[in-house]
Chains A and B, each alone.
Chain A
Amino acid sequence: EPEVTQTPSHQVTQMGQEVILRCVPISNHLYFYWYRQILGQKVEFLVSFYNNEISEKSEIFDDQFSVERPDGSNFTLKIRSTKLEDSAMYFCASSVTPGLARYTQYFGPGTRLTVL
């Protein structure tokens, strides 16, 4: 069964450094998402991406964040200058199989980001 994959599983960085989290969505999906979960808190939506542009973003997704689909398979989340409060699990998800009316979002295993 196809699945969403994410790398790395754990990323440790120093405050102020740039990080790129990588995701390979399910191959025929059209929508891509990033969510995050701070330890002990809810899963929060960050951004959705469709047709090579952001379709929706939350208040969390400020100018320090960016997303990109650099090729036909990868979907990345970049944090330009990390802060301590960016420490969280980051989940990638994908959805929408064209022509089949299947809208379920499938999530990857997550990347644990630790900012020191």
Chain B
Amino acid sequence: DAKTTQPPSMDCAEGRAANLPCNHSTISGNEYVYWYRQIHSQGPQYIIHGLKNNETNEMASLIITEDRKSSTLILPHATLRDTAVYYCIVTTGGGNKLTFGTGTQLKVEL
């Protein structure tokens, strides 16, 4: 699976959009970009994933660049409960393992 690079930490004001970047310059054509988050020591929570097109669900939006070498997770109106470590993971999916990096610690503040 391709390796990803994320900033170690970010801050965001409550109510503002949180934009979390991820670089995956070695991504292959059949690899998806997945985003998970982990609040404290809870189990990783799935947020969103995409292959080429931008995606949106009730939690977030995922913007993937045209060359697919980077992506941005957008939490449109961050709340204190969005404080977590966010992981960007590239994988072919199916039954393959997920390889977690160190992620981005997002801190949402008043």
Taking the nearest CB of chain A, how far is it from the CB of B76, in angstroms?
21
A residues in contact with B93, CB < 8 Å: 103-104
* Interface contact B95-A55, CB-CB below 8 Å: yes
* Interface contact B95-A110, CB-CB below 8 Å: no
**Any chain A CB within 8 A of the CB of B81?**
no
Report Cα–Cα, A11/B58, bound state, in Å.
35
Chain B contact surface mostly: loop
Q: Could you say which of B8-16, B20-28, B37-45, B61-69 contacts chain A? A: B37-45
- What number of A-B contacts does a CB cutoff of 8 Å give? 60
CB within 8 Å of A: which residues of B? Answer: 32, 34, 36, 38, 41-46, 49, 87, 93-102
Partner of B102, one of A4, A42, A50: A42
Taking the nearest CB of chain B, how far is it from the CB of A42, in angstroms?
5
* Interface contact B43-A108, CB-CB below 8 Å: yes
Q: Could you say which of A13-21, A67-75, A89-97 contacts chain B? A: A89-97
Partner of A106, one of B46, B95, B99: B46
